[in-house]
Structure 1
Amino acid sequence: MEYGKIIIPASYYKEIVEHGKLNLPYEVCGLLAGIKDKVQSVWPLENEIKSDRRFFVGEKKIEETIKLIEKQGEKILAVFHSHPTTAPLPSSYDIENHFDEHVLMVIISYKSMNPKVKCYRIKNDSYKECPILIKPTS
Structure 2
Amino acid sequence: MNTPIQPVILPQSIYDEIIAHARAGKPEEVCGVLRGRDSRAKELFRGRNIAEDKINNYTVDPQTLLRQFEFEDAGDAMMGIYHSHPVSVAYPSATDAWNAHYPDAYYLICSLEFDDAPVIRAFKMTPTFPDLDMEALRQALPFEEVRPGLFGLYVPAGGPIPEPLQSVVEDPSRAFYVVFNVNGAGKVDEHRIVFIEEHPVEVAG
TM-score range, shorter chain: 0.7 to 0.9
Does the 8 A contact of 1:4 with 1:121 survive in 2? no
Q: Can you give the 5+ residue segments of structure 1 that lack an aligned partner in the other structure?
A: none
Moved beyond 6 Å, runs of 4+:
none
Moved more, 52-61 or 29-38: 52-61
Quickly say closer, same or farther: Cα 1:44–1:3, change in 2 above 3 A.
farther
1:70 CA drift (Å): 2.5
Structure 2 CA distance, aligned partners of 1:94 and 1:4? Answer: 21
1:84 CA drift (Å): 0.5
The residue identity in structure 2 corresponding to 1:4 is Q
Q: 1:79-90 to 2 correspondence within 5 Å?
A: 79-90=81-92
CA-based RMSD of the aligned residues comes to 1.8
The equivalent of 1:57 in structure 2 is 60
Structure 1 CA distance, aligned partners of 2:5 and 2:71? Answer: 19
Is residue 36 from structure 1 mapped to residue 38 from structure 2 by the alignment? yes
The equivalent of 1:127 in structure 2 is 196
Does the 8 A contact of 1:83 with 1:109 survive in 2? yes
Structure 2 CA distance, aligned partners of 1:12 and 1:77? Answer: 13
Structure 2 CA distance, aligned partners of 1:42 and 1:57? Answer: 14
Structure 2 CA distance, aligned partners of 1:61 and 1:107? Answer: 18
Larger RCO (CA within 8 A; separation ≥ 6): 1
Q: Deviations over 1:54-85 (max 9, x none)?
A: 1123434422x223322433101111000011
Does the 8 A contact of 1:31 with 1:78 survive in 2? yes
Structure 1 CA distance, aligned partners of 2:6 and 2:24? Answer: 29
Moved more, 8-17 or 41-50: 41-50
* Identity among equivalent pairs (%): 23
The residue identity in structure 2 corresponding to 1:133 is E
- Of 64, 76, 79, 1:77 maps to 79
Moved more, 95-104 or 9-18: 95-104
Q: Deviations over 1:81-125 (max 9, x none)?
A: 000111101001111110122111100000113111111111241
Q: TM-score, normalised by structure 2?
A: 0.61
